[in-house]
Amino acid sequence: MKRQTLKTLLTGSALLLCALCVFFTGCGNIVAETTEEKAETSSHSDEDKLTIGLSQVGSESDWRMASTDSVKAAFSSAEGYNLIFDDAQQKQENQLKAIREFIDQGVDYIILDPIVETGWDSVLTEAREAGIPVIVYDRGIEVDDEDLYVCWIGSDFKLEGERACVWLEEFLASRGVNRNINIADLQGTLGASAQIGRSAALEEAVTLNKNWRIIARDSGDFTTAKGKEVMTEMLNKHGRDINVIYAENDNMAYGAIEALEKKGYTAGMDIENGEILVISFDATHNGLELTLDGKIAANTECNPLYGPRLTEIIDTLEKGGSVEKVTYIDEEQFSGISYIGTIQVRNRPYTVTYLTEDLINDRQY
Ligand code: AHR
């Protein structure tokens, strides 16, 4: 072989060798990085992970979607959980079936957001017999034996309703409105704690305010479509006789406002001049936009961000600690008018936050 050819070959081989070294070193780095990344995203092996069976109500409202996002993020695999999530599509029989499946799967914890309050005794007894702790959140349950679940965390739905009604009293007084007030109550899913509490608060307020009357009442199942359908029927029957719509969540308020506008009515605060005042609950992003516009007069928050609250409970239990049996979460209230800044409910002051676009943009849901 000619010297020059050999040199060329050697040089070529050396270059090839270098290239291969660089390539494999690079690959090594890539492999190492991928493993490190993996370690970063999940420091928990599959055996370490707690298996959680979570039975969600459905996907009926903006609030519900925010709540689902919150629990899914908190119980992610990277956080050390194996989440078995079940959407019950607003049917209690689906929740009962899901819980029985969680029991068969031998999950470590069952987390339940119950559609309605009653009908849980048998299935929760089965969970207890299987030694699986049950945590209830958002809506509550009525059971004969309170030991069937470890704890409940959620909203004081009756207080939410009381705050909404006291705000309405203050608003009417501030405007000097003395006329009879005819109210259409757009109820949530009948038998759900959120419906029971909010409807009960309205009934009490009607007893206290002698010129208030509930002239129409029906369930819109917490959805926009049903809210619109029910409100259309109410308007067909009562038309302009309705002064106030008490929508027991934001989605039904959207449906009600659509129904009003379709018939040429105006959602607003000028009751004396024929506008229909809408009260709502949840304070979701879209609900607050409508509140800023004045189409919803006051919006009482129902906070859906349960993920971190639930992981905290499970952390405590895993460490052998004890948790409160009942925990009510703090919630806010909003309006697009500035002059009712505080209201008195149950002998204590509650702030009513005057809305701004910045405030809405800063919210998580
Ligand atoms: O249980 C919480 C209620 O259920 C919220 O007010 C509503 O939007 C949801 O569907």
- Taking only the tens place, the pLDDT of each residue in 86-122 is 999 999 999 999 999 999 999 999 999 999 999 999 9
Q: What is the gyration radius of the CA atoms in the chain, in angstroms?
A: 28
Residues 289 and 142 in one domain: no
CB 139 within 8 A of CB 114: yes
User: What pLDDT sits at residue 110?
Assistant: 99
* 284 C-alpha to ligand 1 centroid (Å): 11
Phi first, then psi: what are they for 300, rounded to 5°?
Answer: -100, 125
pTM: 0.88
* 256 C-alpha to ligand 1 centroid (Å): 16
Which residues form ligand 1's pocket by a CB distance below 6 Å?
Answer: 60-61, 63-64, 138-139, 194, 222, 249, 281-282, 302
Residues 169 and 146 in one domain: no
SS (H, E, C) 216-231: EEEECCCCHHHHHHHH
- Which atom belonging to ligand 1 lies closest to the Cα atom of 284? 8
Q: Which of 87, 159, 249, 303 to mutate to test the pocket of ligand 1 (most atoms within 8 A of CB)?
A: 249
- Which atom belonging to ligand 1 lies closest to the Cα atom of 193? 1
* Residue 2: inside a domain: no
User: What pLDDT sits at residue 36?
Assistant: 37
pLDDT < 50 regions, the chain: 1-41
Residues 171 and 257 in one domain: yes
Distances (CA, A) of 24 to 15, 18, 20, 287: 14, 10, 6, 56
Distances (CA, A) of 333 to 10, 150, 166, 192, 287: 79, 30, 12, 21, 12
Concatenate the DSSP letters of all residues of 338-359 into one string.
Answer: SS--EEEETTEEEE-EEP-HHH
- Which atom belonging to ligand 1 lies closest to the Cα atom of 60? 10
Residues 201 and 349 in one domain: yes
Residues 217 and 138 in one domain: no
Distances (CA, A) of 74 to 19, 57, 60, 82: 45, 18, 21, 11
* 194 C-alpha to ligand 1 centroid (Å): 6
User: What pLDDT sits at residue 19?
Assistant: 39
User: What pLDDT sits at residue 42?
Assistant: 52
Residues 175 and 265 in one domain: yes
* Residue 36: inside a domain: no
Residues 218 and 350 in one domain: yes
Q: What domain count does the chain have?
A: 2
Phi first, then psi: what are they for 161, rounded to 5°?
Answer: -65, -40
Residues 76 and 110 in one domain: yes
* Residue 1: inside a domain: no
Pairing label, strands 151-154, 181-187: unpaired
Q: Show Cβ contacts of residue 309 under 8 Å, excluding neighbours closer than 6 positions.
A: 137, 153, 329
User: What pLDDT sits at residue 193?
Assistant: 98
- Residues of the domain holding 261: 157-302+332-362
Residues 206 and 63 in one domain: no
Residues belonging to the chain: 365
Structure tokens that stand for 37 in this block? 């990344």
* 85 C-alpha to ligand 1 centroid (Å): 18
Residues 212 and 268 in one domain: yes
Nearest residue to 224 via CA among 63, 55, 56: 63
* Residue 353: inside a domain: yes
* 140 C-alpha to ligand 1 centroid (Å): 12
* Residue 170: inside a domain: yes
* Residue 27: inside a domain: no
Q: Which of 55, 65, 222 to mutate to test the pocket of ligand 1 (most atoms within 8 A of CB)?
A: 222
Q: Which of 55, 59, 64, 115 to mutate to test the pocket of ligand 1 (most atoms within 8 A of CB)?
A: 64
* 66 C-alpha to ligand 1 centroid (Å): 10
Residues 139 and 183 in one domain: no
* 251 C-alpha to ligand 1 centroid (Å): 9
Residues 218 and 340 in one domain: yes
Longest C-alpha distance within the chain, in Å?
114
* 223 C-alpha to ligand 1 centroid (Å): 9
> Cα separation of 311 and 325, whole Å?
16
User: What pLDDT sits at residue 204?
Assistant: 98
CATH for 270:
3.40.50.2300
Minimum CA distance residue for ligand 1 atom 3: 194
* 281 C-alpha to ligand 1 centroid (Å): 8
